[in-house]
Amino acid sequence: MDDKPIDKEEILNELSEFHKLDYDYADGRILGSMCTEAHPFAKEVYCKFLDTNLGDPGLFKGTQLIENEVIKSIGELLSIENPYGHIVTGGTEANLMAIRAARNHARKYKGIVNGEIIIPESAHFSFKKAADMLNLKIVEAALDDNYKIDVESLKEVISDSTVAIVAIAGTTELGLIDPIEEISKIALENNIYFHVDAAFGGFSIPFLRRCGYDLPVFDFSLEGVCSITVDPHKMGLAPIPAGGILFREEEYLQVMAVDSPYLTVKTQSTIVGTRLGASSAATYAVMKYFGKEGYTKIACNLMANTMFFKEGLEEIGYEVICEPELNIVAFNHPKMDTSVLAEKLEELGWKVSVAKCPVAIRVVLMNHIKLNHLKELLEDLKDIY
């Protein structure tokens, strides 16, 4: 730090030099991000609430009401009237809270000490962090030929130590939806906590269903589903950080509660203490601003772009890994190594992301990737071919 104060202008100039090194969503070159530029209105609201702290909600009663409202309206999208939950920093924290709730619940009611969680091979790496922090063993369920949880393989790995089963509604790499209805039944039959990670799909599947896409049910209407992660900072167009965790029962929050004696509330269930109210306010604003109609338009438009891109790739001769269910396309060149193709695209200024399972270039068709960017990308892919 400098000894003397520095003029604002000089600081801003310095900062913008750093900022110039960042990629800009608006250039349409970021192909592998699930985040995108937040809506300007959401950003405006975010700034107004920057000083609010939901870690001590008695001091920010209004902002607490906003968080409650946001959880309730996300709950409505997920077919639950009275959800319990929080707006947190993202999918990682939401998944961590779900697994912590499952572990504590199993410890309290079933006496499980050395627990296991069953996750599909396609699960986001946040579950590995959760298992590590919560001292749980990860057991992987295999995927079927369509890259979705193989239900038979899942049944085989259930044990007396299983504290949670996880399935994904919108996988990170391929955007696929696991057979959640079937898994919900299995979880119920075996009396095991079932968490659905809809960090990506939660803000699009309900809207795509509204406009006629035949997508499977993944939400609380399935009796076995105990919690769902759904991130406003992905398809919800809210500013980072905004993740959402919703629980069916208040008990799941209570089993995580620790005493917080000197705060305005007596217990706290979230992982983070001091906690941004701005995330809740911005999410509230953007949800009201778009409404179901607005989100439906966005989701359908992104699916149209997805199909345009997929068909364009196939016309050139690229191999698309699977029929897209959500706005992600993964593909390979029939002969060229994926890493070589990735390198060539990087040389042309595209920021690509390579999936591991299976190895393929993956493009997440977020709002910042417009039709003209896709046309340019297809032109480049044609030249490379």
Q: Which of 106, 105, 122, 109 is nearest to 162 (CA)?
A: 106
- Residue 70, interface with ligand 0PR (CB under 6 A)? no
Phi, psi of 119 (to 5 degrees): -125, 150
- Residue 232, interface with ligand 0PR (CB under 6 A)? no
Answer yes or no: are the C-beta atoms of 289 and 41 closer than 8 Å: yes
Part of the chain binding ligand 0PR (CB under 6 A), chosen from 91-99, 277-285, 320-328, 371-379: 91-99
- Residue 283, interface with ligand 0PR (CB under 6 A)? no
Q: Report how far residue 186's alpha carbon sits from residue 180's, in angstroms, rounded to the nearest whole number.
A: 10
- Count Cβ atoms below 10 Å from residue 56 Cβ, excluding itself: 18
Part of the chain binding ligand 0PR (CB under 6 A), chosen from 70-78, 84-92, 150-158, 285-293: 84-92
For the chain, the straight-line distance linking the first and the last C-alpha, in angstroms and rounded, comes to 52
Q: Report how far residue 246's alpha carbon sits from residue 202's, in angstroms, rounded to the nearest whole number.
A: 11
State which residue, 112 or 328, has the beta carbon closest to ligand 0PR: 328
Binding to ligand 0PR in span 150-179, by CB under 6 A: 168, 172
Part of the chain binding ligand 0PR (CB under 6 A), chosen from 85-93, 96-104, 154-162, 206-214: 85-93
Give min distance, CB of 308 to ligand 0PR, in A: 22
Q: Coil, strand, or helix at residue 188?
A: helix
Give min distance, CB of 35 to ligand 0PR, in A: 4
Part of the chain binding ligand 0PR (CB under 6 A), chosen from 59-67, 87-95, 175-183, 258-266: 87-95
What type of residue sits at position 361? I
Answer yes or no: are the C-beta atoms of 94 and 227 closer than 8 Å: no
227: Cβ–Cβ under 8 A, 6 or more apart, which residues? 85, 98, 101, 102, 193, 195, 196, 245, 246, 247, 248, 252
- Find the binder of ligand 0PR among 42, 167, 199, 330 (CB under 6 A): 199
State which residue, 45 or 230, has the beta carbon closest to ligand 0PR: 230
- Find the binder of ligand 0PR among 28, 31, 35, 368 (CB under 6 A): 35
Rg (CA), the chain: 22
- Residue 362, interface with ligand 0PR (CB under 6 A)? no
Phi, psi of 296 (to 5 degrees): -65, -45
State which residue, 165 or 199, has the beta carbon closest to ligand 0PR: 199
- Residue 126, interface with ligand 0PR (CB under 6 A)? yes
Give min distance, CB of 220 to ligand 0PR, in A: 18
- Find the binder of ligand 0PR among 150, 178, 231, 325 (CB under 6 A): 231
Part of the chain binding ligand 0PR (CB under 6 A), chosen from 143-151, 194-202, 252-260, 308-316: 194-202
Q: Report how far residue 42's alpha carbon sits from residue 273's, in angstroms, rounded to the nearest whole number.
A: 24
- Residue 312, interface with ligand 0PR (CB under 6 A)? no
DSSP category for residue 81: S
- Residue 28, interface with ligand 0PR (CB under 6 A)? no
β-sheet with 243-247: strand ranges across: 84-88, 243-247, 227-229, 193-197, 162-168, 116-120, 137-141
Kindly list the residues in this chain that would bind ligand 0PR in the complex (CB under 6 A): 33-35, 90-92, 95, 124, 126, 168, 172, 197, 199-200, 231, 243
